[in-house]
Structure 1
Amino acid sequence: MSIPPPGQPPPNPYQQNNPNPYAQQQPQGSVPQQYPYAQPTMPAGIPVTGQPPGTPPGQPPGAPPGQPAGQPPGAPPFGTAEKKSVPGWLWGVGGVVVASAVWAGALFATGGFDSAEEPEAVLGYGFEKDLCGTTGLEAFDERYDTAESAEDANGWGSRQEGLDQSFCSWNLTDREGDSSDYSSSYLSSSAVWHEASDPTGEFAATYKGFEDRSNEDYEYRTEPVNGLGEEAFLVTEDGGGDSGSRSMSLAVRDGWFTYEMDWSYYGGGTDSAEPPSYDEVERMLKAETEAALAGLRKKQ
């Protein structure tokens, strides 16, 4: 083995004579063809990216100093952007969402969203089968002979699954009439204990609908009444004409319990006694209804 001249490294026994197998022999005096995959080399001081002299590597041309490549001009450098705080209103929205989720969870836990669960009846009145025996008619006694009316009272009561009902009717004898008077007056009361469905949604519509029955012979008026149950209505009918028939009804809803008392009059001719005024009948209906409701509340 030959000894290399001083200052030269020892030969590499694994190095091939032609380190680039793709290099071709070029004619003498021609420019050597570079390896196609080799990276170009530039003289010192000239960037390989084609940037103007003086532009730091990685900075786009025309960008302010310190602007990294791939970032729009004017934007803060990567990693140095100021962290924006979450707006206060957004925290409020989040709190509402959390509170709503808690509320919804409570409804699910208590069955508030369970449509299969049967609604619970709201009844504050005990069932009474004999309305005839428990209705004193004291409010009507001044105008009518209620003792005689009670003897001829007719009523019934029924208890069924989901609905209890009770009813009574009386023939009223007018104290101002006589034996030749063919006019007649009647009174009835009905109570319904709704145990399977809430009557709230249909109660007002039922009695306001009476006004649509008005025609050239009969006129109906519906008025709300305060102080009785959750809602109450007074329906007045004026028959007019030769018969002089008239009627008045007072209906009350309190929870799932409804009560109605009806008064009616039918004139018998020109010799008939003058019926009580609407104001007088209204006063008697309200007083008697209040007494009946108080008695049924005690039976609960």
Structure 2
Amino acid sequence: MAIPGGSPNPYLQPQQPHPYAGGYSSYPPPPPPAPPAGGGRGGGVPGWLWGLGGVLLASAAWGGVLLATGGLGGGDRPDLAGYGTTDDLCAAADVSAFEDSYSIDSEPRAGTFSGDRLEKAVCDITLTPTGDENYNSVYLNYEVSWHRGTDPAPEFADQARSSEVFFGNELELTVEEVSGLGDEAYLVTFAEESGELTWAVLSVREGWFEAHLSWNAFLDTPEYAELVEARSVTAALRTSAEKTLVALKE
């Protein structure tokens, strides 16, 4: 049950899986490859390549924003709220909120970008329901940005709310403001007509630092109905985000 999409905007995701995107990395992941004839989980392009492509595309998009807004020459000092950069976001990404229901399917993959005015890091993690043998998967993607050239605050809320305009008539979509995380935070969720949650992203801004944590499900077996229940998914996302942000503080 993939979600449609494709846009460097973290909220304007799905419609058509982007060939260079994975997990959340500014794009939703493609559907898992069909199992090989001999069984097993092999085949397809490694997930970390999808995520790394998303980083590069998102970074290019941000570079255009900086040039268009004059951020490169701005006099504002970046407020990174004490969040230190990292070469391996997966070392900080906390998945403990999902451990009761899932196991990690493969080695988490990290990617980074470091520019003069923007640094980004991503971590892609693939989970499978404990004991599953039917190729069901959940993709977690952690993406963080340290803005040094322009303040993301003026556009942060609009980025979240804009998803209602672009996808509100096509999908069961909700946008909620979340209290108690950073300076501001938003939760955007997409669901099937049946009500099953298929994709969610929790975004947090603190100063000039941004974090996005997304969950994208490919769970087609009826026994996994509890795993796509919105309340449990969003609670796990919040717990994971809180613990990951603590780990990233200097």
TM range (shorter): 0.5 to 0.7
Find the structure with the greater CA-based Rg: 1
Name the counterpart of 1:120.
Answer: 77
Matched, 1:252 2:204: yes
Conserved 8 A contact 1:183-1:272 = no
Letter in 1 for 2:111: W
1:155, CA displacement in angstroms?
1.6
Residues 217/131 of structure 1: CA separation in 2 closer, same or farther (3 Å cut) = same
TM-score of the superposition, structure 2-length normalised?
Answer: 0.65
Distance in structure 2 (CA, Å) of the matches to 1:165 and 1:171 = 20
Letter in 2 for 1:137: V
Q: Which moved more, 1:151-160 or 1:231-240?
A: 151-160
1:217, CA displacement in angstroms?
4.5
| CA shift digits 1:250-275 (9 cap, x unpaired) | 0000000000100011243x556323
Conserved 8 A contact 1:217-1:239 = no
Matched, 1:178 2:132: yes
- Structure with the bigger RCO (C-alpha within 8 Å, sep 6+) is 2
The percentage of aligned residue pairs carrying the same residue is 29
Residues 267/137 of structure 1: CA separation in 2 closer, same or farther (3 Å cut) = closer
1:241, CA displacement in angstroms?
5.9
Name the counterpart of 1:284.
Answer: 236
Secondary structure at 1:240 match in 2: coil
Conserved 8 A contact 1:169-1:188 = yes
1:182, CA displacement in angstroms?
4.0
Distance in structure 2 (CA, Å) of the matches to 1:117 and 1:141 = 44
Residues 153/117 of structure 1: CA separation in 2 closer, same or farther (3 Å cut) = closer
Distance in structure 2 (CA, Å) of the matches to 1:162 and 1:216 = 37
Residues 206/195 of structure 1: CA separation in 2 closer, same or farther (3 Å cut) = same
Conserved 8 A contact 2:189-2:197 = no
Residues 182/245 of structure 1: CA separation in 2 closer, same or farther (3 Å cut) = farther
1:218, CA displacement in angstroms?
1.5
Secondary structure at 2:157 match in 1: helix
Matched, 1:296 2:248: yes
Name the counterpart of 2:89.
Answer: 131
TM-score of the superposition, structure 1-length normalised?
Answer: 0.55
| CA shift digits 1:89-109 (9 cap, x unpaired) | xxxxxxxxxxxxxxxxxxxxx
Name the counterpart of 2:224.
Answer: 273
What is the Cα-based RMSD across aligned positions, in Å? 2.1
Aligned length: 176
Letter in 2 for 1:169: D
| CA shift digits 1:180-214 (9 cap, x unpaired) | x3432111010000000000111000011111133
Map 1:1-300 onto structure 2 (within 5 A): 118-124=75-81, 125-145=83-103, 148-149=104-105, 151-175=106-130, 178-179=132-133, 181-214=134-167, 217-240=170-193, 246-268=198-220, 273-274=224-225, 275-297=227-249, 299=250
Secondary structure at 1:273 match in 2: helix
Which structure has the highest strand share of the two? Answer: 2
Conserved 8 A contact 1:185-1:263 = yes
Conserved 8 A contact 2:203-2:211 = yes
1:119, CA displacement in angstroms?
1.2
1:245, CA displacement in angstroms?
6.0
Deviation >6 Å, runs of 4+: none
1:128, CA displacement in angstroms?
1.3
